[in-house]
Amino acid sequence: MKIFKIVAILVGLLLLAGIVIIVSQFDAERVKAEAVRAVAEKTGRTLRIDGDLALSFWPNVGLRVGQVALSEPRRDAPFAAVNAARVAVAILPLLSGRAVITAVEVDGLRATLIKRRDGSLNIDDLLGRSPDESPSADGTAKPARPAAGGGLELDIAGINITDAELVWQDEKAGKTTRISGLELQTGHVLADSGTRTYAVSGLALAFKGTDGNDRFAVQVEAPKLSLAPGKASGAAMKVHAEMNGEARRFNLTLNVDGIEGQDGVVKVGQLAVELDAGWGETALSGKVSSPLVADLERQTIALDKIDGQFDLRQPQTQTLQLALGGALQADLAKPSADGRLKVRAGETNLALKLAVARFAPLAMTFDLDVDQLNIDQYRPAGGKGAQGGAAKASAAGVQGAAKAGGEGLDFSALNGLDVTGAIRIGQLQAKQLKFNQLNLPVRIADGRLSLAPMTAGLYDGSLNGALSLDARGNVVTLRQKLSGINLGPLLADLADSDVLEGSGDVSVDVNSRGQSVDEMKKRLAGSARIALGRGAIKGVDLEQTLRDVQRLLGKEPAASPAATGKTTFSELTASFAIANGVAHNDDLLGKSALLRVQGQGDIDIGNNRLDYLLKASALTGANDPEAKGLERLKGVAVPVRLSGTLDRPAWKVDGEVLAGELARAGAHEALQKAGRKLEEKLIKGLFGK
């Protein structure tokens, strides 16, 4: 036993002597200069060490350095800096050829990571990547070359990072994310990429930061986690993240329980996410969970039993309860994913199937089935309803609508997408419009969204057509044919309007482009046509108008039918040529047993104005008792001028034009006798003024 003690003493003395020699020969300034030169030669970066460089030897071999800065490649712009750093290695394991790092300490780290417009990173040279190994411009990583050597081996007793700050700059997106106050503490860390063995204990990570105008904070706790080819295990892991901004907020907690694994397959008994989020005055809260299976060898992840419950709250609406279930599988090696999801939202049942072939840029197919959906049920109360809808909209509401019309439109999100799918809805109500058996085939490619052919049942008729949005120029194209439509209920629901009734066909072929809804309206172009069967124009009784004219001329019989407040027709046709937001018509023709109505004028959609002239003339027949007396007005066309806004048009009999019509019909003497009494009586009778 004494001999071993003597040997140990001799080894200790030799080690101590070696330490003394190293300390006596250590030249900090020379080491700094050599480090600066080596970094410049190998990376083209400038290393600056302004702080002290010191060695320590007991109880561990340690190196401490202060105030270090590193530049960008071949530039003086700063890349990273630290206030102080320390690395310590245990002495005794060194005697057996093992390196055990007892401590890694970094204080005041500052670093800026930049993604350039070509997709490369400002740290590619530090990662050992050549230019052809950098991420491509579309954000996808190119295959990396195998690393030299046997892989990474780490055995660290603990890591302590304090007061770190990281900045991420995406030059292509023009976006900057800043992480500050980063704190990282761990217990034992073991990593061996050669044997694929990883373990960490006592992990605690916390940081906060900003993303534009949004502020966020993240905390991670992992008491114990180990992964190996033959086995995996871990204690409960928790991640908490929150974000607060001007327009949105969220508070998210991720809990991972029951981690175990074998032969490269890791199983999580329960992966649960709790969410409390909001945007504007809308709030969403709830929880979703599922078991998880991850195959590390194949790089696949499966969530086989998704189960979630959420509450969606909006002002002046009832809380919408959402229940969801399904499954999701992802292959990270490709990468790709597919899944199925069922959602019950109130009275609505939704079934979704999707398959993602590529995440960036997105390439996917999907299939969505919805039994019934009433979007209006979840919109805030007000507008249309008990207060009479648009006719009684408040000034604030009108201003809000005007503001919305001026908001920007940007279809650039369509660029790069490759999406094919189908949407089927049994019954749909949106902004009071009611559809049934709505079918929307969806295709997104080359920056263009196409819904074609769109089909649906609509107000006793059918809809068939197409809609497309094109990011190149922000272009909208709409082609629709409505067949057998009951126009009265359609207009009542669409525009809260009760001015026209009848059934027939409507066709629209229009396009526009612009950066806002207002600009789209003013650049609208194309054509439209309407062909209706039996119906009526409400608000004006042109038959009664003719009888009033006849009575004022002294030609009307004693008995006269009562006014109905509308003009009936057996057929009504009109076509419109649309340019620069103005729909021009000069061929409106309506017929009934007694009347012939013609019209021409402009509907200014872009400026919400109306300038239109209707002319009604009598169709007299000897065998028609209701036409008795009107035969004397043959050739007289009573003019009605429409003006004002599209939602609240004004009607007025054009007395000057009427005078000309009567004069041509030989009634100028009677007209002179009646004077302005004629026009006043007509207006009073028609509009109650």
pLDDT at residue 227, as a whole number: 78
The model's pLDDT over 435-458, given as tens digits with 9 standing for 90+, comes to 999 999 999 999 999 999 999 999
Distance CA 611, CA 600 (A): 9
Bridge-based pairing state of the strands 53-56 and 60-71: antiparallel
pLDDT at residue 98, as a whole number: 65
Least confident segment among 518-522, 562-566, 611-615: 562-566
Mean pLDDT of 545-551: 70
Helix (H) or strand (E) holding 493: helix 487-495
Sign of the dihedral through C-alpha 51, 33, 106, 21: negative
Mean pLDDT over each residue of the chain, to the nearest integer: 80
Distance CA 243, CA 656 (A): 68
pTM, two decimals, is: 0.69
Distance CA 440, CA 453 (A): 7
Distance CA 445, CA 471 (A): 10
Q: Which residue has the higher pLDDT, 230 or 450?
A: 450
Helix, strand or coil, per DSSP, at residue 43: helix
pLDDT at residue 306, as a whole number: 96
For residue 497, CA distances in Å to 402, 490, 493, 539, 651 come to 20, 9, 8, 11, 15
Tokens of 270: 């329960």
SS3 sequence of 380-440: CCCCCCCCCHHHHCCHHHHHHHHHHHCCECCCHHHCCCEEEEEEEEEEEEECCEEEEEEEE
Distance CA 258, CA 166 (A): 33
The model's pLDDT over 280-297, given as tens digits with 9 standing for 90+, comes to 888 999 999 999 999 878
- C-beta separation of 329 from 341 below 8 A: no
Q: Is 212 left (phi over 0), alpha (psi -120 to 50) or beta?
A: left
- C-beta separation of 206 from 219 below 8 A: yes
| Length, in residues, of the chain | 689
- C-beta separation of 603 from 573 below 8 A: no
pLDDT at residue 472, as a whole number: 92
Non-local CB neighbours of 648 within 8 Å, separated by 6+ positions: 391
pLDDT at residue 446, as a whole number: 94
pLDDT at residue 621, as a whole number: 53
pLDDT at residue 190, as a whole number: 87
The model's pLDDT over 114-154, given as tens digits with 9 standing for 90+, comes to 988 888 888 888 776 655 555 554 444 454 444 444 455 77
Residue 462 CA from chain centroid, whole number:
30
Bridge-based pairing state of the strands 101-107 and 159-170: parallel
